[in-house]
Amino acid sequence: MGAPLVPPFTFDTATAKVRMAEDGWNSRDPHKVALVYTEDSQWRNRAEFPVGREQIIAFLTRKWAKELDYRLIKEMWAFSDDRIAVRFAYEYHDDSGHWFRAYGNENWEFNAAGLMQRRFASINDLPIKESDRKFHWPLGPRPQNHPGLSDLGL
């Protein structure tokens, strides 16, 4: 896709934007991930409300220090000209070896340059057994042939 992924979104550009976000988060590189947000981006993530790239970097650094072997799948739920609604699930374990699957929804709003200016996330964690994991790929982006959320019945 040669055109930039900026509003107004089409089904194809919104879907591609979601996959790019998933790949970025699966990199677990807070500095790289923060570049897709505006300098003054506003978030709500559970009980935290980061504002701006520096707070986003600090938030993601803390997150991925606690959520080990993190693997994420995002799926577009709906879109409009400058907004995308996403549902997601990710799996991780804590430093005691307890596994979790987190389920959630995000609402995204973008500026004209395609940077996310607002992100609102609602997330619930479910303890799972390691044998119940569904996200099996090497750390990093999800392979193109790995099933998505709907394919996995999530």
Q: What is the mean pLDDT of the chain?
A: 96
Q: pLDDT tens digits for 9-18? A: 999 999 999 9
* Burial class of residue 151 (count of CB atoms within 10 Å of its CB; 0-12, 13-18, 19+): exposed
Q: pLDDT tens digits for 93-122? A: 999 999 999 999 999 999 999 999 999 999
pLDDT at 30 over 70: yes
pLDDT at 2 over 70: no
Bigger pLDDT: 1 vs 27: 27
Q: State the pLDDT confidence band at 124, using cuts at 50, 70 and 90.
A: very high
* Burial class of residue 150 (count of CB atoms within 10 Å of its CB; 0-12, 13-18, 19+): exposed
**Domains, the chain:** 11-132 (3.10.450.50)
- From CA 107, how far away is CA 51, in angstroms rounded? 16
pLDDT at 4 over 80: no
Would you state the pLDDT for residue 1? 45
Q: pLDDT tens digits for 50-72? A: 999 999 999 999 999 999 999 99
